[in-house]
């Protein structure tokens, strides 16, 4: 027959008056939360990577390539990774009508805007998943953030340069600088992602070694 709290207190003291809570009872869902968050981030990263590859192909390879049919074979300024000079832009302006310039502006507002934003966001997720140290993470984040900002600025600069009433040498120089900078930052962003993957792989390889080092022989 079970004893009452008063009987337990009389036999074992006041500490035994109340039943103790069962130890070791843990909410099993809490241990899965970090793994679940990492899994969700990985799914977002995969989707962002696929979208970035598609948008790069659609914007730089397909659409801008087709725009050459509207400019007498002249490449669009966005495709000129080495920059351009006023004489080339003067020729381009002469070969592009108002409809062609309007179509290029539309491309800049759609795929030209989505690509840097999606790529920059995906690169930041990749870096965050693989780099634990905040200073290193912020340093690697700088490249994709700057790339997205400069690419969007370059879109506006190119549209303004081509649609201006008269050719402005200063506008051409600014647009050329932004286009070159966007390509350089794109390469640096890719290198930052590669560095993040290397750091993450090295961290995962060090965890088993650290766990093995914590195991010490005990006397039986």
pLDDT of residue 220: 44
Distance CA 38, CA 200 (A): 13
| Unique residue bearing structure tokens 């402005």 | 168
pLDDT tens track for 92-139: 999 999 999 999 999 999 999 999 999 999 999 999 999 999 999 999
pLDDT of residue 39: 74
pLDDT tens track for 4-58: 666 665 666 555 555 555 444 555 555 556 666 667 888 999 999 999 999 999 9
Q: Which two tokens stand for residue 83?
A: 């920059």
How many percent of the chain have pLDDT more than 70? 76
pLDDT of residue 202: 86
Distance CA 199, CA 140 (A): 11
Task: Give the global pTM.
Answer: 0.78
């Amino acid at each position: 027959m079970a004893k009452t709290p008063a009987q337990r207190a009389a036999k074992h003291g006041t500490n035994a008056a109340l039943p103790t809570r069962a130890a070791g009872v843990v909410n099993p869902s809490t241990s899965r939360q970090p793994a679940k968050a990492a899994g969700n981030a990985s799914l977002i990263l995969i989707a962002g990577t696929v979208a970035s590859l598609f948008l790069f192909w659609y914007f730089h390879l397909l659409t801008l390539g087709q725009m050459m049919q509207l400019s007498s074979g002249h490449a669009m300024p966005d495709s000129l990774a080495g920059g351009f000079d006023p004489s080339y832009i003067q020729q381009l302006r002469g070969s592009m009508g108002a409809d062609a310039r309007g179509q290029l502006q539309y491309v800049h507002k759609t795929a030209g805007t989505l690509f840097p934003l999606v790529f920059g966001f995906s690169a930041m997720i990749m870096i965050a998943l693989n780099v634990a140290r905040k200073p290193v993470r912020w340093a690697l984040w700088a490249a994709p953030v700057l790339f997205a900002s400069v690419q969007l600025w370059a879109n506006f600069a190119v549209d303004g340069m081509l649609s201006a009433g008269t050719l402005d040498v200063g506008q051409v120089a600014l647009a050329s600088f932004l286009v070159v900078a966007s390509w350089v930052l794109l390469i640096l962003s890719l290198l930052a992602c590669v560095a993040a993957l290397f750091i993450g792989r090295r961290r995962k390889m060090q965890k088993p070694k650290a766990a093995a080092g914590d195991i010490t022989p005990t006397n039986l």
